[in-house]
Structure 1
Amino acid sequence: MTATLHRLSPDKVKLGVCCTLWWNDDFPSIDAGISFGQAVSDMALAGFQGCSIGHKYPSDAAELKAALDLRGLSVSEPWTSTYFTVGRMREKTIAAFEETLSHIKALSGTELVVAEFGASSHLLPVDVFANRPVFTDSQWDALTSGLHELGGIARSAGMKLSYHHHMGTGVMTRADIDRLMASTDPELVHLLLDTGHIAFAGDDPLELVRAHADRIGHVHLKSVRPEVVSRVREQGLSFQEGIQLGVFTVPGDGGIDFRPILEALAAAHYEGWLVVEAEQDPNKAVPLEYAKKARAYLADILGW
């Protein structure tokens, strides 16, 4: 462990895991029949403290909290898709966000994650690179205005809003993220660093950390398989095809070295969730095996 990594101690950061190791929330057909109960038991067995919320989770907050409490888990974040850049969706987006906020408060959570999916190509059976939206200036204005409103709602509720850059969307590349950070209030809009999505997009996750360390409010740690990234780009494949080919994997596997990334986060005195994620086909990649692999890899770097 380096001199700075001690700052990422258990009293400063929490280790979570996304349920996308066990099933896929974007593409429900990518499923091995694993139940909610087995998934959260696997998470606890692998040594994690928390998890994201997925479509197989109980919708009743009391029931979900009891199941997580039983396993010593808490909720790392919920997800809300935003649609500020397309017509007549602002009010619906805000209403959906407020519903999510109410749910996460009932679960004693403090984090909210959003991503703009207006005109996104990631759910479509099309080339994910060639068909992702490029926002106009007016769309950027609509997005930043909407995010400021959501950030204000979150702050008033004592919660933190982080924006998730994502493949196939209008905030996908380093240049997009730079513009979003320059256009938003750091008190209202934080950045969710997703190492896998930025590497898939063709940019360097370490350089992203160094550029925006003071804005990072939440972290998703996932790796990529570079040969699959190249295949998706060269063959014009869809996001779903990339996932099914194994474009994403966990830390400790794939092409990303996480030690310098974690060192950079430690140097910036990051505090919050470090959440392992890998949108893999559970029929090909046994979820518990990969969860344990990631936890062991992080233990080797962090020292705990």
Structure 2
Amino acid sequence: MSVPHAVPRVLDRLRIGSAPDSWGVWFPDDDQQVPWRRFLDEVAEAQYEWIELGPYGYLPTDPAVLHAELGERDLKVSAGTIFTSLHHGPDVWDKTWAHVSEVATLTRAMNAKHLVVIPSFWRDDKTAEELEPRELTTEQWHHLNSGMERLGKQVREEFGLDIVVHPHADTHIDTEEHVERFLDGTDASLVNLCLDTGHYAYCGGDNVKLIKTYGERIGYLHLKQVDPDILADVVAKGTPFGPAVRQGVMCEPPLGVPALPPVLEAAQELDVDLFAIVEQDMYPCPADQPLPIARRTRRFLRSCGA
């Protein structure tokens, strides 16, 4: 007697996409990265519909040019990305807002609705130099939380966009404790989370638990997995994030953790439309490496119902 194969649940609230990061792109311009036209060609070939802008300046910043390039490939933009160090207090606001305005202008012109906010690193991802203490003071937590609320309010008022803050390795919003402290200290009407499944697992967090506990704060997803063996070595040696990526700590699904089907199903159960953007940190990488991985990843996500 044959046993029927389980039919994957249809995850129709998730909008699947990819990003320049999955092509090894971390910088606006770098000789080790694929040219932007090749990225667009290949992300479309891998059958993704949505992309992020990536580092500002990698893709064309002229909206008319970018619209035309995306239109030729049937691609749409889900979000732009900004970098902040708001825990330093009001003195950094003007510099932060200049950067945010630039990215938000292009993001809005592409009809996207989100800005992914990445906090600044506490140590250099190349040299491992500690740039500042790993733990924030009480005053710095206040600056971070109030600064993010101010950012969320002003971005919405001036650009009609929502910010989603990205917990990230080697930043002050990384571990379960720090993520929960940040969420508990900020206004849900102004600030929500971009949950990166790989970064949260890298820092010891339980993705499904976070989604089930703070579901109303999950505004966006990055789909990523971590190689547990390499991660154990990274943790044991205190390796900074950049060198860890070069070791291959972020791997293609379904080879790592967290298992993505339970994460995707928990996100579906929130019953809201969510972007779920694939990111596999692998800077730098051979130019021919990303496309086959992207194809396999897209097939895997379809097998999960997404």
Note whether the superposition's TM-score is higher than 0.5: yes
Shift of 1:131: 7.3
Alignment partner of 2:43: what SS? helix
Matched, 1:274 2:276: yes
For 2:37 and 2:122, how far apart are their aligned partners in 1?
A: 32
Correspondence 1:300 to 2:303: yes
1:44 to 2:47 alignment: no
Query: Which SS does the other structure have where 2:221 is aligned?
Result: strand
Question: Which moves more between the two structures, 154-163 or 242-251?
Answer: 154-163
Three-state SS of the structure 1 residue aligned to 2:214 is: helix
Match of 1:104 among 97, 103, 107: 107
RMSD over aligned CA atoms reads: 2.4
1: CA distance, partners of 2:289 / 2:112:
28
Alpha-carbon distance between aligned partners in 2 of 1:28 and 1:67, rounded to the nearest angstrom: 19
Identical positions, percent: 27
User: CA 1:45–1:227 in 2, change beyond 3 Å: closer, same or farther?
Assistant: same
CA change 1:143–1:222 in 2 (3 A) is: same
Structure 2 regions of 5+ residues with no counterpart? Answer: none
Report the Cα offset of residue 282 of structure 1: 2.4
Which position in structure 2 is the counterpart of 1:152? 153
1:107 and 1:234 map into 2 onto residues whose CA distance is 43
SS at match of 1:171: coil
How far off its partner does 1:27 sit?
10
After TM superposition, the structure 1 = structure 2 runs for residues 203-242 of structure 1, keeping only pairs within 5 Å, are 203-242=205-244
Contact 1:250–1:277 under 8 Å retained in 2: no
The alpha carbon displacement at 1:82 in A equals: 0.9
Letter in 2 for 1:135: L
1:261-303 CA distances to partner (integer Å, 9 max, x unpaired)?
111111111312110010114229710111111111110011x
Q: C-alpha distance in 1, partners of 2:101/2:287? A: 37
Q: How many residues align?
A: 297
| 1:127/1:252 CA distance change after superposition, 3 Å | farther
Aligned to 1:113: 116
Give the deviation of 1:13 after TM superposition.
2.9
CA contact (8 A) 1:5 1:266 kept: no
Report the Cα offset of residue 142 of structure 1: 0.7
Contact kept in structure 1, 2:201 and 2:257, CA below 8 Å: no
Structure 1 residue 234: Cα displacement = 1.1
CA distance in 2, matches of 1:2, 1:140: 47
Indicate conservation of the 8 Å contact 1:164/1:194, yes or no.
yes
Q: d(CA) in 1 for partners of 2:223 and 2:289?
A: 18
C-alpha contact 1:164 1:192 (8 A) present in aligned 2 = yes
Partners of 1:5 and 1:267 in 2: how far apart? Answer: 11
Deviations 1:57-110 (A, max 9, x none): 112222112111111111121111111122621221122212221111111111
Contact 1:26–1:123 (CA under 8 A) maintained in structure 2: no
- SS in structure 2 of the partner of residue 98 of structure 1: helix
Q: Distance in 2 between matches of 1:287 and 1:294?
A: 10
Contact 1:5 1:262 in 2 (8 A): no
Q: Which residue of 2 aligns with 1:59?
A: 61
Matched position secondary structure for 2:193: strand
SS at match of 2:212: helix
Q: How does 1:144-223 map to 2 (within 5 A)?
A: 144-156=145-157, 157-223=159-225
Matches within 5 A, 1:12-31: 12-25=13-26, 31=32
Partner of 2:271, secondary structure, is coil
Q: TM-score with structure 1 length normalisation?
A: 0.90
How far does residue 195 in structure 1 lie from its aligned partner after superposition?
Answer: 0.4
Q: Partner residue of 1:259?
A: 261
TM-score w.r.t. the length of structure 2 is 0.89
Aligned to 1:142, the other structure's residue is in SS state helix
Conserved in 2, the CA contact under 8 Å of 1:30 and 1:282? no
AA partner of residue 44 (structure 1): A
Deviation at 1:219, TM superposition (A): 0.2
Task: Give the deviation of 1:127 after TM superposition.
Answer: 7.5
In structure 2, give the amino acid aligned to 1:42: E
Q: Secondary structure at the match of 2:112?
A: coil
How far apart are residue 43 of structure 1 and its match? 0.7
- Letter aligned with residue 14 of structure 1: R
